[in-house]
Structure 1
Amino acid sequence: MNGKTHLMGGLAACAVVETVMDGSDFSPLFYIGGMVGAFLPDICHVHSTIGRRLPLLSKMISFVFGHRTFTHSLLFLGIVHVLLDMVLPEAANVHIGLFAGMISHILLDMATVRGVKLFFPFTMRVRLPLYIRTGGKVEGVVQLVLIGWLIIWSYQFVQSWL
């Protein structure tokens, strides 16, 4: 999936989490965390949105692990969780948003032809039964569906305040 799809997926995942958890006390950092999380797994791809902003780190991770392996795995999610607990122990909003974005990213990439190595270091690739080609017309439809869902959710969210 491309960066726009991941961004919309991360925001949609945050909206779902906020609804399910009744996150009325979530700060804007929750959604910022979701947007960062939506891009973070692609740190292994030098031409990705985050890879272009952190080129040295991206090149090192890509060289060592390759694309859609370690940074798209449950192991990576666990390591990020431990690091966040050490660095930002009081920032629950950021943690939850970041993980919503990261999980949405991994799920969206599981819906592509290549899938992901979810159980890295094991080499098995995991792909959803229905999958699409990255950058194709169907991905554009996925983007539109996510945008539409976000618009509907935002409208309902605002109406609940009035």
Structure 2
Amino acid sequence: MPIQEAKLLAATHAAFSTVLYLGGAAVFEYQAEPVDWALAVLFSFMPDIDIPTSRVGRPLFFLSVPLEKRFGHRTITHSFIGFGGLAVLLSPLYFSHPAYFWAMLGGYWSHIQIDMGNIRGVDLFWPSPIRVVMPGKIKYRLEVGSKAEMILLCALLVFCVGLYPISNMGLRGGLHQLLKDFDIAYDEFVEVQGTHWYTLELKAIDNLTLEHIECTCPVLGAWQNGLIVDYHGKARSVGKSQMHHNLYPIDAVLIQGEPLRVISQRVNLQGRSLRWLVDHLQASHAYYLLGELYVDADKVVNVSQIETYHPVLWGGDKVKLHYAKVEDLRDYLNLTAIRGEAVVQFWLWPGDEAVELRFDGGTGKVETPGVLEGMF
């Protein structure tokens, strides 16, 4: 094979393996890593070890020369037997570095697959003489080193450039960035909440005032097929139901931030007031309160709530907390729980020390670790 044709052929195999690798990252949403990518490209050359003049055949001549003499080109190394043999040899990597295992096998298969589009095809079922070609009509298949292969190479390079940014976001993430669809943002957040800090680039309409708003709002959680965001220091629900949500989304893009560590602490509030809880939560870390309390039904609280969603919901003898902060409890502090508990979620940035609150259920005394000394 002429050197120029060999270089063109190697470039085509490298480009096709890259398209499959990046395309797989976009569809299956695995993380595209340089080492895995390089291994996929490297092993896309390996089936041509049966040619002494190929890119891998020259340095491995002690293998390529006898392989060519004994079996010929595009036979055993381009067959299920060769592919299966490689899988067996690489099998230890499946348990230690599975990403390497699949990258190598995928790169090797990419070579076989694109060679099916060559005029000769491959002996995929070797030692059977049946050759596998794709497509079936010879006029649509490629000749090595031809202008058609050059056109294919150019097309593959264009695909590589287009797939690279999508591979980092995933196909769904790419569609999300393009369509700015709220439902995609909601589904994505539900799957990954609690792992990172997230913000929502949002254009929306306030269901109460019909005001058009734009913000980049921290996302607190999910609620009623929508998201809870922090809008100007207040928790607001975003969703497509005017019955359940404060803000109707027009455009929404979910943005991942730094890793998040959430430490949750359950606090029994039986016989205790919300003021007691607040007095013990003057910490420097971001935190939110969730839970359900039963209180004296005859107790009157002077509150006026016309918003669809509120972090503190009052109804009869029940008070529900949903991502409430201290300022949200202002009108409820003197309520004493007959029974119920609250969950305190501390949201920690990378490098923040752990927080642990231990409440003595009998005396109300609180023991705190050193990180919270001076809080109480």
The TM-score, its normalising length taken from structure 1, stands at: 0.90
DSSP 3-state at the match of 2:141 = coil
After TM superposition, which residue ranges in structure 1, 4 or more long, deviate above 6 angstroms? 159-162
Kept in 1, the 8 Å contact 2:116–2:134? The answer is yes
RMSD: 2.0
- Tell me whether 1:128 sits opposite 2:134 in the alignment: yes
DSSP 3-state at the match of 1:50 = coil
Gaps of 5+ in 1: none
- Tell me whether 1:5 sits opposite 2:12 in the alignment: yes
Structure 1 residue 29: Cα displacement: 2.3
Kept in 1, the 8 Å contact 2:119–2:141? The answer is yes
Structure 1 residue 65: Cα displacement: 1.2
Question: Aligned in 2, Cα 1:64/1:107: closer, same or farther, shift over 3 Å?
Answer: same
Structure 1 residue 132: Cα displacement: 1.1
Kept in 1, the 8 Å contact 2:26–2:168? The answer is no
Residue deviations 1:124-157 (CA, integer Å, cap 9, x gap): 1111123111110000011001100000112334
For residue 14 of structure 1, what is the aligned residue in structure 2? 21
Q: Give the alignment partner of residue 100 of structure 1, picking from 101, 106, 113.
A: 106
Residue deviations 1:96-137 (CA, integer Å, cap 9, x gap): 111221111111111011100000111111111231111100
Q: Which has the higher strand share?
A: 2
Kept in 2, the 8 Å contact 1:33–1:95? The answer is no
- Tell me whether 1:139 sits opposite 2:149 in the alignment: yes
Instruction: Choose 79-88 or 101-110, whichever is displaced more.
Output: 79-88
Residue deviations 1:33-79 (CA, integer Å, cap 9, x gap): 20122101000011111111211111121122110000001111111
Question: Aligned in 2, Cα 1:87/1:61: closer, same or farther, shift over 3 Å?
Answer: farther
**Matched length:** 161
DSSP 3-state at the match of 2:145 = coil
Q: Which has the higher helix share?
A: 1
Kept in 2, the 8 Å contact 1:29–1:93? The answer is no
Q: Give the alignment partner of residue 40 of structure 2, picking from 34, 44, 58.
A: 34
For residue 293 of structure 2, what is the aligned residue in structure 1? none
The TM-score, its normalising length taken from structure 2, stands at: 0.41
For residue 58 of structure 1, what is the aligned residue in structure 2? 64
Amino acid paired to 1:135: G
Question: Aligned in 2, Cα 1:121/1:28: closer, same or farther, shift over 3 Å?
Answer: same
- Could you say which structure has the greater relative contact order, defined with CA pairs below 8 angstroms and 6 or more residues apart? 1
For residue 83 of structure 2, what is the aligned residue in structure 1? 77
Gaps of 5+ in 2: 1-7, 174-254, 257-376
- Matched residues, percent identical? 28
Question: Aligned in 2, Cα 1:20/1:87: closer, same or farther, shift over 3 Å?
Answer: closer
Distance in 2 between residues matched to 1:109 and 1:158, nearest whole Å = 28
Kept in 1, the 8 Å contact 2:49–2:64? The answer is yes
